[in-house]
Amino acid sequence: MVALNLNNVLVGSDKPERLIAFYSEVLGPPSWEGGGYVAWSAGHGYLCVGPGAVAGRSDEPERVVIGFQVDDVVGEFERIRAAGGEVVRAPFHPVDGPDDWLAVIADPDGNLVQIGSPWAPTAETLSSGL
């Protein structure tokens, strides 16, 4: 078992102010700001946005998907959509979890944000690398 604890995800942008406004609407006031970077506490980790050497919308938005768990996926999807998120996939029941919900929204730079029902890893998912 790996002892690493995922602490944060950093999203770089040539226009970080757009992402800062979007994620402030989605996650509330930032937990930390400094040197052009802004971070929000989300569960046990942080989402951080700041200046980066990338420009424009993501050409490969599926390369990294930012995932959040919430009890009310449909309600949260609607709230994030109203905050300016672009609908990629409306709430749906995944084939392997007919009682669960998933939805995908793109942020202003085209990065994907997945909203899903809470789940706890099982011995099977841990051994498969998920």
In a domain, 35, yes or no: yes
* C-alpha closest to that of 83 among 113, 38, 52, 57: 113
In a domain, 2, yes or no: no
Q: What is the CATH number of the domain that holds 41?
A: 3.10.180.10
Confidence bin at 123 (pLDDT 50/70/90): low
pLDDT in tens, 37-78: 999 999 999 999 999 888 888 888 888 899 999 999 999 999
Residue 130 has pLDDT above 60, yes or no: no
Average pLDDT over residues 16-42: 96
In a domain, 1, yes or no: no
- Structural domain count of the chain: 1
In a domain, 93, yes or no: yes
* Mean residue pLDDT across the chain: 90
In a domain, 30, yes or no: yes
Range of the domain at 47: 8-127
In a domain, 29, yes or no: yes
In a domain, 3, yes or no: no
- Identify the burial level of 111 via C-beta atoms within 10 angstroms of its C-beta, where 0-12 means exposed, 13-18 middle and 19 or more buried: buried
Residue 86 has pLDDT above 70, yes or no: yes
User: Three-state SS string across the chain, please?
Assistant: CCCCCCCEEEEEECCHHHHHHHHHHHHCCCCEEECCEEEEEECCEEEEEEECCCCCCCCCCCCCEEEEECCCHHHHHHHHHHCCCEEEEEEECCCCCCCCCEEEEECCCCCEEEEECCCCCCHHHHHCCC
